Chain A
């Protein structure tokens, strides 16, 4: 079952955003850090939300948010404007987090045949105050692999083949992780 893409820009809002951001993007490309700061102010909340949901760690999410904006600054010339700047930035940030997670996992995998965290049954969140209010804290409790797939697929709107390609896993594994994540969330939040 495919869920909608709630965090994707659509229609007139996207057009308005493009018009507002176009001079800022031009300025940033020309090396104007003040223009880039304005782009940062406009998008930091969305980028940080993604990093925080994918990592479940405040300090790490802050670091990766900074990395994403630095990488965006360095990659501005590759932004062609086919999509909204926010969409491009959001995808770039997701890739920054995935790259970080892959580096961490590749180090562990040299010494262990399994990713232990993905095989330990996670503890349910301690308190329940209603579905929507608790969803973010429940996502944070998911095993890392399941959390990554859930956030990318159900929250950010990525397709399984994109997730599989970027995370270096099989499509079937992604689907299994998503199923596991949904089951755990439904169980915890019911």
Chain B
């Protein structure tokens, strides 16, 4: 066996040994870890409800705000559809203009947010991301409605207000430089 072969064999043996040690340590990990607080009461309060979330207070506040905004807008929109005809579709639909106007602001704001997440309290980051995901879902639903009525002023206003809501959330965690001023 050459010197190189011996070195390679020794290296492989070391790797196998290290993997065995890791495997042994994994096998000895405790199967149970008890949470620091009793989670049962939070569970019990949700059992009677068909579906509930575990949102924290400001997540709920934002979600409620977006939900109210979307539902009120959709309700208003629904009341109008019977009596009014849709506006003619222009070359660039109104909502595409709104999208285009907000795209650079959102891009820069979100990049700044992502750049700062490294130093951010993980709990805060988690909550912000959750809220932004809720807003993103609302934006998807509004866009879906806009496919049928692309130039409807109510839906377009709703889209714009939802973008503003997103920027408000980012502003709440990026206080040093207001993202609207980017």
Contact = CB atoms under 8 A, between A and B. Distances in A.
B5 interface: no
Given A57-B126, A107-B133, A112-B114, A3 B35 contact: no
A116 B133 contact: no
B26 interface: yes
A180 to B, nearest CB: 13
B43 A66 contact: yes
Interface stretch (A16-24, A37-45, A169-177): A37-45
Contacts of A45: 31-34
A46 interface: yes
Nearest to A86: B31
Contacts of A186: 18-19, 21-22
B133 A46 contact: no
Contact of B123 (A57, A110, A112): A57
Interface residues on B, range: 35 or more
A128 B95 CA distance: 56
B43 to A, nearest CB: 5
Contact of A182 (B22, B30, B114, B123): B22
A46 B136 CA distance: 34
A60 B123 CA distance: 8
A141 B150 CA distance: 47
Contacts of B35: 44, 48, 58, 61-62, 65
B52 A190 contact: no
A132 interface: yes
29 contacts: A3-B23, A3-B26, A3-B27, A6-B26, A6-B29, A40-B40, A48-B33, A48-B39, A49-B32, A49-B33, A60-B126, A62-B39, A65-B39, A108-B114, A110-B136, A111-B106, A111-B111, A112-B114, A116-B117, A131-B25, A132-B28, A135-B25, A135-B26, A135-B29, A154-B23, A155-B26, A182-B19, A186-B19, A190-B18
Contacts of A131: 21-22, 24-25
Contacts of B32: 45-46, 48-49
Prevailing SS type, chain B contact patch: helix
Contacts of B31: 6-7, 45-46, 49
Contacts of A6: 26-27, 29, 31
Interface of A: 1, 3-4, 6-7, 33, 36-37, 40-41, 44-46, 48-49, 52, 57-67, 69-70, 73-74, 103-104, 107-108, 110-112, 116, 120, 131-132, 135-136, 154-155, 182, 185-186, 189-190
Given A4-B27, A48-B33, A62-B35, A111 B43 contact: no
A52 B118 CA distance: 20
Interface of B: 18-19, 21-37, 39-40, 42-44, 46-47, 50-52, 54, 106-107, 110-111, 114, 117-118, 122-123, 126, 129-130, 132-133, 136
Given A65-B35, A132-B29, A185-B22, 16 more contacts: A3-B23, A41-B40, A46-B31, A52-B33, A63-B54, A66-B46, A70-B46, A103-B133, A104-B126, A107-B132, A107-B136, A108-B129, A111-B110, A116-B117, A155-B29, A186-B22
Contacts of B22: 131, 182, 185-186, 189
A154 to B, nearest CB: 5
Contacts of A66: 39, 42-43, 46, 54
